[in-house]
Amino acid sequence: MSDMTFDKMINQMTPAIYESLKQAVSLRKWPDGRYLTAEQTELCLEAVMRYEVENNVPEANRVGYLEQRTCGAGATGQGVSPEMAGLAKDASRD
């Protein structure tokens, strides 16, 4: 039985393995085309996130990063059109 733990795996992960796991999570497929199971997706995502923290990957480059946008308005929302605020007419209700 291997004495490899999750922590040891993260510490030994190369940038190439990190990129491969990141792509697998993104596509939900392994490089050979097989689909990841829900458990595999969860473990790969955890490994990617742990790698990013352990290796000080800049926040903007991390998986799941969303840049905060204000649509050009201040914190009050002034100057934002109803469409930009998500208040546009619902076309499905016509």
Query: Residue 69 pLDDT > 80, yes or no?
Result: no
Q: 28 and 54 in contact (C-beta within 8 Å)? A: no
Mean per-residue pLDDT for 21-32?
93
Per-residue pLDDT band for 76 (boundaries 50, 70, 90) equals low
Query: How far apart, in whole angstroms, are the C-alpha atoms of residue 49 and residue 30?
Result: 18
Parse the chain into domains and list their residue ranges: 6-56
pLDDT given at position 15: 93
Per-residue pLDDT band for 21 (boundaries 50, 70, 90) equals very high
pTM: 0.65
Q: Which residues pair with 35 in a beta bridge?
A: 29
